[in-house]
Amino acid sequence: MKKSQIIFSTFSPLMAVDTELVGSGAEAVATPRVYSLCRCGESGRKPLCDGTHAKKGFVGEREDSNKPALEYYRGGEITIVYDRYLCMGAGFCGELEAVFGTHDAPKYEPDAAPVEDIIATIRKCPSGALSYIVGNEPFRKYYGATRIVVEKDGPLHCQGEITLIDDQDSDLLLPDADHFTLCRCGGSKKKPVCDGSHETNGFKGG
């Protein structure tokens, strides 16, 4: 098991263990070894939890029962791997429209651009939804440091060797996943992961 963990139940905040926290201004945030991060969107101490979820009756159940289900798009030199569940719609893939299409009309054309351009684009994907295979080797791990980075008015970017544990033994992530984004606005339909709802629900998280 990885040393750093994020643990939660249906009704709880996110409990981080042995995980460095970086604020939305790129500042290191001093925390105890175990600390709680808001995921109801209502804390007065964001990104930390202040207990408001209990007063508001927060329920973190997913409305969408999607689970990781990898899709493979094979090309001559590279296979694009897409995990629809993890996608937060950050949109970096749209920068390479010939390969990934647009937000409204996505596609996966692994032979439509140089391999190095496809790899550079995939590596910008913060949610881990996109990865790739060259030869027989999957490439999913890009982060050396293990930490949680707060995005201003957006999700928690979890990077490095972090195990995500819930109270239902859910296999939310691949065992070797090293980056994913967790909802902290309370509005995601794919809780605990971010689905991009913070972009439209007016979330202000600092």
C-alpha pair distances (Å), 8 with each of 15, 23, 137, 163, 167: 6, 21, 32, 11, 7
Which residue number, 10 or 134, has a Cβ lying nearer to ligand FES?
10
Which residue number, 63 or 77, has a Cβ lying nearer to ligand FES?
63
Minimum Å distance from CB 195 to ligand FES?
5
Which residue number, 131 or 197, has a Cβ lying nearer to ligand FES?
197
Q: Closest Cα partner for 124 from 194, 73, 179, 42?
A: 179
Give CA–CA dist 113/99, Å, rounded. Answer: 7
Q: Which helix (H) or strand (E) holds 163?
A: strand 162-165
Number of residues in the chain: 206
Which residue number, 43 or 188, has a Cβ lying nearer to ligand FES?
188
Give CA–CA dist 102/66, Å, rounded. Answer: 22
Minimum Å distance from CB 205 to ligand FES?
7
Minimum Å distance from CB 135 to ligand FES?
34
Minimum Å distance from CB 109 to ligand FES?
28
Give CA–CA dist 33/110, Å, rounded. Answer: 43
Minimum Å distance from CB 111 to ligand FES?
32
Interacting residues with ligand FES (CB under 6 A): 154-155, 183-185, 187-188, 194-198
Which residue number, 53 or 184, has a Cβ lying nearer to ligand FES?
184
